Structure 1
Amino acid sequence: MQPTNRPRKACDLCYTRKIKCDGQQPQCSNCVNYKTVCTHAARSRKWKPKAQQNVQRSDAEEIRSLQAQMQQLQVELAEYREQDKALVTPTPSQDMLISDEFIDAENSTNSMKLPPLQQTMHMTGIFLNTFNSMMPLFNPDSLLRLIGETYAVQPRQRNPVSWAAINVVLALACHQMPDDSEMNSECGIASDYIKKAQSVIWTVTLGETGILNIQTLIGMAMLLQTANDTTPALVIISAAMRLIHKMGLHNRLSTEHLSLIEQRQHAYVFWLAYIVDKDLSLRAQQPSVQLDDDIDLDLPMELPGVCNGDSEAGIVTTVDGNTGLNYLLARIQLANIQGNVYDHLYSTRASKRTPEERKISRERIVRALDDWKASIPSDFNGANVVTTTSNNPSVAAFFCILHTRSLLCLSLITRSHAWDEQWVGSIREYGRGTQALQLPSEWTAMVGEARNYMILYEQVHQRHSWLRWFAACTYMSAMVLLTANNLNDSQHADFAQDTDRIERALVWFQEHFKEKPCKMSAMLGDVCTEAVEAMKQRRANNVAGAVEDIWLTGFIGDKGAIW
């Protein structure tokens, strides 16, 4: 039985943007917020019989439809630009010459404009081939369809969640472009796109909950976690996890009714949120939202196979094709270890345990981390990955993140990271000769990992400025580890190269931390500068002593021959 035609309660604004209307008169709350006239003139959508709703078009029809839609979009966009030019009064200010597609975040809630369609499609291609191929946040087909639907309507009629999602994609694409490339300057700045997405975060978070809302929030958190202050990212990923729990994405039962492709994408979304949640928890020394015992999902490698381009998401292969790695799976497994480091060593609950209990937990986590490292092929370690993946340069930045988190875990487990005042102070006293240096049992492995990491970071960070704060603490910890190793053993084979790495890191440290000075950073800089002089002096003394020993041995040998 077909439903009867009844007056629509939602106003035109709420109806077109698919948001809940409270029906207040003379203006609903949303119309007040968006500063628009509250009308009820728009035509309602025609109801279709259920049989017609369930009919799916073939792939060929879908492609033809999208192509026609794109052509129509370009025509409409040209008309919109002409209308905008007629309404805007030109001013002599140079700042006003910037394209009206790039507007201030405060005005974006009203206009929701986007860059030209051609530019958006180009940047979306970069996103899909780089970031999304490693961290599959969106299904490619769904994302392209979303872009087509968003550009098909006027800016003021766009869905705020869809608009925010596209801005997140554009910001993530900016991160994948080298800082010195011409393409980067033409495509805008990531921070501008982030601000636009944040301008509608209230609607994204509290509007009707869907998978797109969660994807948008996760993308925002991924972008914001690269900043020095992790608070915004922590708040946003917490909101994303709550929406995930609301939709039940952490439980396989919630997606049983979906297609295999949709099940896969829902699982990807959960695991990406899990990675960000555990990562930020350890960095900020705060509890994570997701409990490991409350997860009932397969890991990516165990998901049902789907014959499409999305089935190989997260898989990395070396340039010779001989070695492969499931990068996404490696990040999930490492995130689990990160969660255990906080829960069992740094949480309030851990502080109440006996020293013996903490020791047992520590040993168990170290074994898990060692097993995880053993699962990563040597072709993908810090010293090799740039060369072995030269066919895909964007991969190196992702492995820099992977090794950043691995070394961070190890330095936190052994309490030998750059921001541990006791550890840094002990290096200073050892350099002055007033105290013995207590090295962790995993010392040799730590030094090798720190050296490889510094090699990788120096190769990557100059091309991607967003890595600066995201990996700075681990880079400093690696510098301190090599400094302590040079002080402890001035005769090792890599002394000269490690000294060069330490001095380059010190220059970088002093330059970048001028912006965010603090007591600990000042102490760290002073200790390492002093330690460099001490280790060079020890090296010189050892070399002089060795030369003297050789000379005396030769002299005595010559005398014996004469006698």
Structure 2
Amino acid sequence: MRKLRKLKRSGTCKHNCSNCKANSKAQYQDQEDATETQAVEFGDVNNISGSMRLPSLEQTMHMIGVFLNTFNSMMPLFDPDSLLRLIGETYAVHPRQRDPVAWAVINVVLALARQQMPDDGDADAQYGTISDYLNKAQSVVWAVTLDETRLLNIQTLIGMAMLLQARSDLTPALVTISAAMRLIHKMGLHNRISTEHLGPVEQRQHARVFWLAYIVDKDLSLRAQQPSVQADDDIDLDLPIQLLRIDDSDVEAGIVTAFDGTSKMNYLLARIQLASIQGDVYDHLYSTRASKRTPEERRTLRERIVKSLDLWKATIPVEFNGANVMTTTSNNPSTATFLCILHTRSLLCMALITQAHAWDKQWVIGIRDHGRGTSLLELPIEWATMVEDARNYMTLYEQLNQKYKWLKWFAACTYISAMVLLMANNLNNPQQAEFHQDTMHIDKALVWFQDFFKDNSSTMSDMLGDVCTEAIKTMKQRRAEDIVTTVGDNWLAGFLDDRTMMR
């Protein structure tokens, strides 16, 4: 403790010289190492709130660099300068004297950075795990939610909710984003009036924080089939693209660029617009209010939502569709995960709109009965587009899921629904040109599905697994029969032609 008091008295250099920077870094690390010897291991939540230790400054700065260049460049949750200043201030004091909210922020950022690192055998040992960092942040959630309401508290909760989205149980994510939204309303971030007194940079950051919360809120609402917190008609705020200025140094935030620089897309804006459509899907088709509408009203609303989704899809450059993502983002592989999420949510919207998703019992039974020859399969009018999107999506997801295992729960429902779409298409038209390619996707997805639900089975998953196994066998039999019939017909036609010529 004597050493720590000496460090505090020494202060920091005002001249920002290189020697003092090095000394400052050493002081930060001395304070980190000076904490009592019972160091808190990753995930030891009971002791975390008492010590508030962090990794070495060197490791933290490396991971902050990863965060700023990957996650934050696509979903700008933090202003980089403000975040770096917060880290410096936090490392400058003894762990037990740290602000719990600042400590939670850093752990959330480290978890988001770790999420963007491909999974391999050494990464967890070297950099810690996502769950370890998240558990630490959650251990002081009382301070984040109940202390003085600041933008920092809201950013922390949004980051937590984003991480919790990748878990099997959505309840913690729903509760966390609800808390974030209530604090947002308390600060008035959903209304431009609340930030009129701020400078342009602060106004932009406040608006971005709101829109990121909006994305998570609408996304979780649709996935969990629960009402969202934020009503669209209670928003008076510019979209991010309207907040940029010609001389803005932050103009690239939220923008994804193809590796050759020929095409760009405003990813953040695309997610906000898609989130609005996700909200419409739930509000107009799945909410309690929607169930009280007449069939004609529901049909009209459905057509309007499909049109909105089609218009949205038309704004996505072809370079960033599911089939091209891996090539387009080869210079920055983690960018592909964000585009994968974009296509995950887009396809899920269409599957829910058309009720052609894997968890719709009527749809699954219809596929089973069609395979058995007892009924015809009613296909949505958007069928051809849905099949193409499902095919491209499965190609993309299969190239990413082994490197980024956190995508599993993010994408599970959509990936399984895509498998069922391709399976139904093969069953309905075994002569279609992509049959063999689609069958490879289906077989791979079925193995994934069976492994996925091995320890998490339910009545619906068991039924779906049985229907898929039966339907896949049937579609392959139909394909084989069609080939035999086609060969036989061609042989007979050739034989008759030969006999005619001989005459």
Do the structures match in fold with TM over 0.5? yes
Paired residues of 1:260 and 1:306 also in contact (CA < 8 A):
no
Describe the superposition over 1:30-68 as per-residue Cα deviations: whole angstroms up to 9, x where unpaired: xxxxxxxxxxxxxxxxxxxxxxxxxxxxxxx98928984
Q: State the partner residue of 2:7.
A: none
Q: Aligned equivalents of 2:363 and 2:448: distance in 1?
A: 21
1:291 to 219, 227, 231: 231
Q: Aligned equivalents of 1:399 and 1:173: distance in 2?
A: 17
Determine if the alignment matches structure 1 residue 239 to structure 2 residue 179: yes
1:180: Cα distance to partner?
A: 1.3
Give, as a single letter, the amino acid of the residue that structure 2 aligns with 1:77: Q
1:243: Cα distance to partner?
A: 0.3
Determine if the alignment matches structure 1 residue 436 to structure 2 residue 376: yes
- Compare 160-169 and 552-561 and name the one that shifted more: 552-561
TM-score w.r.t. structure 1 length?
Answer: 0.85
Paired residues of 2:43 and 2:131 also in contact (CA < 8 A):
no
Determine if the alignment matches structure 1 residue 362 to structure 2 residue 314: no
1:554: Cα distance to partner?
A: 1.1
1:553 to 486, 493, 497: 493
Q: State the partner residue of 1:533.
A: 473
Q: State the partner residue of 1:57.
A: none
Return closer, same or farther for 1:208/1:431 CA change in 2, 3 Å cut-off. Answer: same
Q: Aligned equivalents of 1:498 and 1:83: distance in 2?
A: 58
Q: Aligned equivalents of 2:142 and 2:211: distance in 1?
A: 24
Determine if the alignment matches structure 1 residue 159 to structure 2 residue 99: yes
Q: State the partner residue of 1:467.
A: 407
1:181: Cα distance to partner?
A: 6.2
Return closer, same or farther for 1:65/1:148 CA change in 2, 3 Å cut-off. Answer: farther
Return closer, same or farther for 1:551/1:212 CA change in 2, 3 Å cut-off. Answer: same
Q: State the partner residue of 1:423.
A: 363
1:349 to 289, 306, 316: 289
Paired residues of 1:267 and 1:297 also in contact (CA < 8 A):
yes
Q: State the partner residue of 2:338.
A: 398
Paired residues of 1:109 and 1:199 also in contact (CA < 8 A):
yes
Paired residues of 2:192 and 2:237 also in contact (CA < 8 A):
yes
1:381 to 296, 318, 321: 321
Q: State the partner residue of 1:264.
A: 204
- Compare 382-391 and 363-372 and name the one that shifted more: 382-391
Determine if the alignment matches structure 1 residue 81 to structure 2 residue 21: no
Determine if the alignment matches structure 1 residue 205 to structure 2 residue 148: no
Determine if the alignment matches structure 1 residue 453 to structure 2 residue 453: no
Q: Aligned equivalents of 1:319 and 1:506: distance in 2?
A: 33
Q: State the partner residue of 2:483.
A: 543
Paired residues of 2:28 and 2:57 also in contact (CA < 8 A):
no
Return closer, same or farther for 1:80/1:277 CA change in 2, 3 Å cut-off. Answer: closer
Paired residues of 2:28 and 2:91 also in contact (CA < 8 A):
no
SS in structure 1 at match of 2:160: helix
Paired residues of 1:140 and 1:310 also in contact (CA < 8 A):
no
What is the Cα-based RMSD across aligned positions, in Å? Answer: 1.6
Return closer, same or farther for 1:207/1:531 CA change in 2, 3 Å cut-off. Answer: same
1:309: Cα distance to partner?
A: 4.3
Paired residues of 2:100 and 2:140 also in contact (CA < 8 A):
yes
2:71 to 115, 119, 131: 131
SS in structure 2 at match of 1:548: helix
1:102: Cα distance to partner?
A: 3.4
Describe the superposition over 1:314-373 as per-residue Cα deviations: whole angstroms up to 9, x where unpaired: 101111111110000000000000000000000001111111000000000000000000
2:427 to 463, 481, 487: 487
Give, as a single letter, the amino acid of the residue that structure 2 aligns with 1:431: G
1:308: Cα distance to partner?
A: 5.1
2:168 to 207, 228, 244: 228
Q: Aligned equivalents of 1:456 and 1:535: distance in 2?
A: 24
Return closer, same or farther for 1:62/1:473 CA change in 2, 3 Å cut-off. Answer: farther
Return closer, same or farther for 1:290/1:552 CA change in 2, 3 Å cut-off. Answer: same
1:217 to 149, 157, 162: 157
Determine if the alignment matches structure 1 residue 500 to structure 2 residue 440: yes
1:509: Cα distance to partner?
A: 0.6
Tell me the matched-pair count: 491
Q: State the partner residue of 1:71.
A: 23
Determine if the alignment matches structure 1 residue 172 to structure 2 residue 112: yes
Paired residues of 1:350 and 1:358 also in contact (CA < 8 A):
yes
Give, as a single letter, the amino acid of the residue that structure 2 aligns with 1:214: I
Q: Aligned equivalents of 2:135 and 2:328: distance in 1?
A: 37
Q: State the partner residue of 2:62.
A: 122
Paired residues of 1:70 and 1:148 also in contact (CA < 8 A):
no
Q: Aligned equivalents of 1:238 and 1:387: distance in 2?
A: 37
1:558: Cα distance to partner?
A: 1.4
SS in structure 1 at match of 2:16: helix
Paired residues of 1:102 and 1:114 also in contact (CA < 8 A):
no
SS in structure 2 at match of 1:325: strand
1:71: Cα distance to partner?
A: 3.2
Paired residues of 2:32 and 2:91 also in contact (CA < 8 A):
no
1:215: Cα distance to partner?
A: 0.1
Q: Which has the larger radius of gyration?
A: 1
Return closer, same or farther for 1:312/1:62 CA change in 2, 3 Å cut-off. Answer: farther
Return closer, same or farther for 1:444/1:63 CA change in 2, 3 Å cut-off. Answer: farther
